[in-house]
Amino acid sequence: MLRTVCLTLSLVLAVPVAMAGPVAPAEGRVTVTYVAPETFRDREFRRERSRTSALAEFDRWFAGLGARYLPAGQSLHVEVLNIDLAGEFEPWRSGFHDVRFLRDTTPPRIHLRYRLMQDGTVIRAGEERLTDMNYLSDPRGHGDSRRFIHDKLMVQDWFRKTFGAPQRPARSDLSG
């Protein structure tokens, strides 16, 4: 009996919400375009499967940063022209052909163009070559097992410097 009442109550509460349709988020919007990603310098982008996975991860990261840093009414259009991820594969190492070795000489690098829009008008635009030569010294990346963490932190730093203080608090997947 109690199970039926709880199920009925949850359906009664959920139906009006479901019928209202999706709620438009009141957060900044980021559109990312990757220009010829199969020609990006890093080996990760040469095979279709790993390229698709990597780009999807960067799409999510850019979207999360846009939600955090861009005020309502603003949108950001980013064209990524090249990515060279932190570290390198060293296939000559026996048993480590798919391990990315991080060294001082292999910093993350991203070349991009961007346009920040407010109500259909470009309010800021530019082309940037992001590089973090000190990525191995950044304590936020130490012990963090997330994929491409050093590259993501570099993009996060660029967002913070370029677009100012966060409009919304950090979510756990953007902290670090």
Predicted pLDDT at 81: 97
Instruction: Compute the distance between CA of residue 172 and CA of residue 175 in angstroms, rounded to an integer.
Output: 5
pLDDT (mean) for 6-15: 40
For residue 112, the surrounding DSSP H or E stretch is strand 109-118
pLDDT at 161 over 50: yes
For residues 33 and 30, give the distance between their C-alpha atoms in angstroms, rounded to a whole number. 10
Selected residue with higher pLDDT from 58 and 164: 58
Joined together, the tokens standing for residue 120 give 């259909």
Q: What is the pLDDT of residue 171?
A: 63
| pLDDT of 172 over the 60 cut | no
Q: 89-110 in b/e burial notation, b at 16+ Cβ within 10 A?
A: beeeeeeeeeebeeeeebbbbb
Residue 23 has pLDDT above 80, yes or no: no
Q: 89: which 2 tokens?
A: 């594969």
In the predicted structure, residue 4 carries a pLDDT above the cut 50: no
pTM: 0.75
Residue type at 135 in one-letter notation: Y
> What average pLDDT does the chain have?
80
Q: Quick check: helix, strand or coil at residue 117?
A: strand
pLDDT at residue 60 tops 70: yes
In the chain, what percentage of residues exceed pLDDT 90?
A: 50
Angle between helices 149-163 and 48-69 (to 10 degrees): 30
What average pLDDT does the segment 23-38 reach?
75
For the chain, the 3-state helix, strand and coil shares in percent, each to the nearest 5, are: 40, 25, 40
Confidence at 106, pLDDT banded by 50, 70, 90: confident
162 half-sphere exposure, CB direction, 13 A CA radius: 22
